[in-house]
Structure 1
Amino acid sequence: MSRALLRSVLELRAPSSRIAPLFAPFRHIQHRSFNSTAPIVEPVAQPHVSNAPNPTDDQVRPLAFKKSHPVEPPTPITDSVKTLLPLLAAQPGHYITIHIHGFPYLVQEGDQIRLPFKMPGVLPGDVLRLNRASIIGSRDYTLKGAPHVDERVFECRATVLGTESEPLRIKIKTKRRQRRKRQAKSKHRYTILRISELNIKNLGEVEASS
């Protein structure tokens, strides 16, 4: 008898213990919780100095409560302005950078302004007081505001000449893979102003108005 045949006979008589049974008994599986770790506590963010809820003298007021054009109390005029303001007022040909609804315009007395919108609540012939300017100057001197010049230093008035309108524009709007067409009509209107008065006050007039 060959060795291979003898080995097969011995394996049939004594089954190997390595073969696992077909029906093994059930085992109790212990479920482990994945939330066993301690919760992570994030540190509380300290408020920035520039965003303090209760501002003091050393802190800045919150940015969310800042106004676009805050009304600041009148400040005393510095010595340099007191010295050079009479020289600026004495020279002719003043110019000013006036701000109307956030738009800056560099104008002189007698110039016309065409606003890119229709100003509400005005009629032809009305006189408007323009009190927000960033630069006032002449040939040799320039007075710059931070960000605006004190309105007690100058007087600028504009007269409403009327309104203008552009020709009617028609734009055809289409959509891809559609035969339908739509017409969009637009007719923009403008307001025309003329700078009727521009005066630089003297130091005595400024101190009297304050």
Structure 2
Amino acid sequence: KAIIMPESFKTQNYYEIIKGICPELPDSVDGCIKSANLPHLKYVVVDTPQKLKGTVTLNELLDLSNSADRDEIAKLQRHVVPDSSCNIQFTSGTTGQPKAAVISHYNFVNNGIHIGNRNQLDNNSRICVQVPLFHAYGVVITIMAAMSHGSALILPAASFNPADSLHAIVNEKCTHIHGTPSMYVDLIKKQRELKLPIETAKIAVTGGAPCSPQLF
């Protein structure tokens, strides 16, 4: 029923993309969308200071909250059980169209606990987060694992930049690094230029693509 998004990121203008598949958006009144292509979509919430036609700003959405809403959420929370749906992850689509996989609370939390144990996380751990937060690597292997072990998350930049990551690893005394193989290739290349004193990092985690023995 709703999409929450930034207006744009790098070269992608999400507002224009949504307008392309939902031409009714700019003419929608008070953020209530009636779309022929997307009949279930009612609201587009955009994290931007400016009001875009047919949308609700994130600040407007937050201002709508009241005590009755919070009480209702508290009531609903009492009905959540471990097997309740928690998160929807889309598969990569390497063997077909991406599919929406529903993840339960038990799956989500249990994975985080065991991954954190395997990666030796504790409340002294500091993770350099280079991966996107919208998929399993970022949201489960990184965030949920850190939350279940009291570890700190260090986000060097809004998107991956090897120099920012290296400076964060040094300045924030990161003990763990999370990234894809191509990110590590870029890190190594940039480190050969900068020659920063990386002394605290002890575990590097990778995934998302094949990784050569020469790299790890």
TM-score range, shorter chain: under 0.3
Greater C-alpha Rg: 1
Higher RCO, Cα 8 Å, sep 6+: 1
Higher strand proportion, which one? 1
Give the TM-score of the pair, scaled to structure 1: 0.22
